[in-house]
Structure 1
Amino acid sequence: MPVPTIAAIEGFALGGGTELALACDLRVASESAVFGFPEVALGLMPGAGGTQRLPRLVGPEVAKDMIFTGRRVTAEEAKEIGLVGRVVPKGQALKTARDLAARIAANAPLGVGYAKSAIEAAGDVDLDTGLRYETDLFALLFSTAERRRA
C-alpha cells in the first residue's frame, strides 16, 4: 500500500487479528486490547505474517516467546515491547485512529508516500543504500507540484 494504514484494536486480537494489526503501519490499541498467537495450542503456527512481522517489531526473543508459548500480551505490555504505538482509554481506539489518519491526510500525499517507502526499505537494505534511496526520493520531491504549493 502506498498510503499509511492504521489498525484500531479494541478487545481481543488473537492469531489472525494480531497478524492483521501487524500488517498495518501504525497500531492504536485500547487499554482493553489483548494480543497473542494461540495457534501452537491448536497444532498450527501463525500463517499470515506473524512469524515475519512480529520479530521485526519486537525482536526475535520476544516474538519467539509469544509464538512458542501462545502467551497473551496486554495493551500496556504491547506498548512496552513496541507492538503498538499508542494505548488509549477503552472505546477510543477507532476515534484516535481516525484522528491520526486525518493528521496524516492533511500532509502532502507524495511526501507521506515516499517517506513510507523509504522507511520500509530500511529493513531490506544496508544503511548506505537506504540513505541513497532516501536522498533520491527527497530530491525527487523538489520537482513536484506538491513541493511548490507548500
Structure 2
Amino acid sequence: MTKVYDFRRVTRADYDMLAEWRKEQHVVEWWGTSEPHDDTALADARVARWIVSCEGRPFAYMQDYTVHGWPDHPCAHLPAGSRGIDQFIGPPDMLGRGHGTAFIAARIASLVSEGAPVIAVDPHPDNARAIASYRKAGFAVEGPARDTQWGRILPMVMQAGPR
C-alpha cells in the first residue's frame, strides 16, 4: 500500500515540536542546533517551510527555497525558478522505513507541477543515508564536494521532465 504524505505550512504552534525534533541525535548530527524555528525565519519569503505527516502523524520537517535568494548560493547557477530542498525526519522510530525517499518524491512532484525546472539538494558528503534517499528519488551528483558558507556539501540536482 502506498503511503500518503500531507504537507502543511509550519506555524508558530509547531515551534515546540520542531525544537524537540531538533534535539534528536540523528538530526543534530547533520543540522546542528543553530537554525532557528521562529517568527523571523517563518517570515522569510524565500523559504517555504512544511510539516510532513503520514496517516495523520506529523513526523518530518521540510523546506524548499529559491536557489537565487542568496547571491552566493552554491546553486545560483541553475535556471530561474529552480528550488532547493532540505528536510529531516524527527521521531527516531520513523527512520529506515522509506519515508524520506517517498515524501521527498511527493514534494518534488508538487514543485515540478508548480514550474520548477530543476530541484537541488546539498547534503553533507558524509551523510550516506540522505544521499541514498536522494539517489532513489532521482537526484544525480552535479559536481565535487565543496565547502560553502553553509558547510561542506555534495551538490545534487534533478531536472524536471521525463526521466
TM-score exceeds 0.5: no
Higher share of residues assigned strand: 2
For normalisation by structure 1, the TM-score amounts to 0.29
Q: Give the structure with the higher percent helix.
A: 1
